Amino acid sequence: MIYTRDVDNIKTILSAPSSQSVLGSSRGANFKPVAGDGLFTADGKVWEHYRASARPYFTQARQASFIETLETLIQQRLRLLPVHNDGWTEPIDLQSFFLDLTLDASMENLFCQSYSPQLSGTEKGGHLPDRSAFAASLDAAASFVGDRTILGKMYWMKQSRDFYGHCKTIRRFIDHHINGVHDPCASPSQDEEDLKSSVPSNNQYHPTELRNRIQPLLFTGRNPSGGLLAIIFFFLQKDLSIYGKLRNEICATFGPNGNITLIKLATCQYLQFCILESLRLGNVVPAIMRSAEKDLVLPHGGGSDKQSPVLVPRGSTIIVCIQGLHLRKDLWGEDAASFVPERWHSRPWDWSFIPFSKGRR
Ligand code: HEM
């Protein structure tokens, strides 16, 4: 197993054609029960298919309407918090708050229906799992899968009856929501020709095909986004001067009525800096795994000074240490471990910063 936080190595690994470097199969099978049998766990042609089928969910128009959805859901959730006479609420667990919020928002985005937080936990359709049960199972199963990841290819050695129970809850919840749904967001593209047999001509997707599309997006739409929001607030509460500066800029940009648009979000510079710095230090995804399908040469790691090329034999597992890269003092300065949003004033987005793997989002 090879661990690297070397910029040139990372560039080589993440830029290598999929014939040379593909996702480790252990991650595919390990994550499948939680993230589904699609974009997050597939390789090659199947991955390309699901990648193409995810595009309609992220058009600019949908991003704009997603902002409205998110704002409505945030306001609904804030109104649910009991407020004391002095105007303050009880302390709340922000991580749960944000994960509930991003679950509702993802469901609205994917199922094109409204999911009011007031109804969460009350929507028991007889024996069906509700949103809280689904979220609890998702957390339990994701944590179990995280533990198994440490075992690499031997992940299957860790087993538990509870885990399979949670996976069943996850599948039943998603199947309930997509069952027989005409997917209003999907428009088959050229890339989908290969899998046309699974897409009936009336655009009524097979439930399994739809689950494969939606499950990874539901998982990733809830967990990393909710996690990042909690991380941002973790850093802000540690330094109230940064919090104050950000609050002032947000009030100045969006005004009292909070008219939030994509353009205004992009121009709210200090907000962007705080998000980037939280992505750098918080490391929502601290490492990613690849497996060499063929022999591969990495630029660094060989020789006595480790600066010569090194051979990575076929079958090797490679771990790209995002967290390690983001904390390198030679790349980020002596204050690499400190939360300093201002550093982004003069910082290009290059290979020393890979919170989303290759490239921006
Ligand atoms: C703070 C937010 C997020 C972070 C830091 C993040 C980070 C990442 C990283 C590092 C990977 C690469 C994993 C690998 O190559 O092994 C990844 C993959 C993925 N992410 Fe995210 N992500 C975030 C939000 C989202 C959201 C909101 C969605 C969709 C709703 C999403 C969908 C996906 C999918 C489907 C993949 C796997 C497919 C692929 O290889 O392109 N992510 N994400």
CA-57 nearest atom, ligand 1: 30
With the most atoms of ligand 1 within 8 angstroms of its CB, the residue from 55, 323, 357 to mutate is: 357
Q: Is residue 359 part of a domain?
A: no
| Ligand 1, atom 12, residue with closest C-alpha | 357
Q: Is residue 205 part of a domain?
A: yes
At 257-275, the pLDDT tens digits run 778 999 999 999 999 999 9
Q: Is residue 95 part of a domain?
A: yes
**In this model, does residue 255 exceed pLDDT 60?**
yes
**In this model, does residue 197 exceed pLDDT 80?**
no
Q: Is residue 117 part of a domain?
A: yes
Q: Residue 299 is inside which H or E element, if any? A: strand 296-302
pLDDT, residue 179, reads 67
Q: Is residue 152 part of a domain?
A: yes
Q: Assign 180 a pLDDT band (cuts: 50, 70, 90).
A: very low
**In this model, does residue 194 exceed pLDDT 80?**
no
113 by DSSP, 3-state: which?
coil
How many domains does the chain contain in total?
A: 1
Q: Is residue 15 part of a domain?
A: no
Asked if residues 213 and 54 have their Cβ atoms less than 8 Å apart, the reply is yes
Range in 23-32, 204-213, 273-282 with the lowest mean pLDDT? 23-32
With the most atoms of ligand 1 within 8 angstroms of its CB, the residue from 32, 220, 222, 322 to mutate is: 220
Look at the block and give the residue holding tokens 């030679």.
330
Q: Is residue 119 part of a domain?
A: yes
At 291-334, the pLDDT tens digits run 888 888 999 999 999 999 999 998 888 899 999 999 999 999 99
Q: Which residues line ligand 1 (CB under 6 A)?
A: 39-40, 216-217, 220-221, 224-225, 228, 279, 284-285, 288, 355-357
Q: pTM above the 0.85 mark?
A: yes
Q: Residue 143 is inside which H or E element, if any? A: helix 131-149
Q: How far apart are CA 357 and CA 360, in angstroms?
A: 8
Q: Is residue 110 part of a domain?
A: yes
C-alpha of residue 220 to centroid of ligand 1, in Å = 6
Domain that holds residue 197: 27-238
Other C-beta atoms closer than 10 Å to the C-beta of 148 total 22
More confident residue, 121 or 229: 229
Q: Residue 324 is inside which H or E element, if any? A: helix 322-326
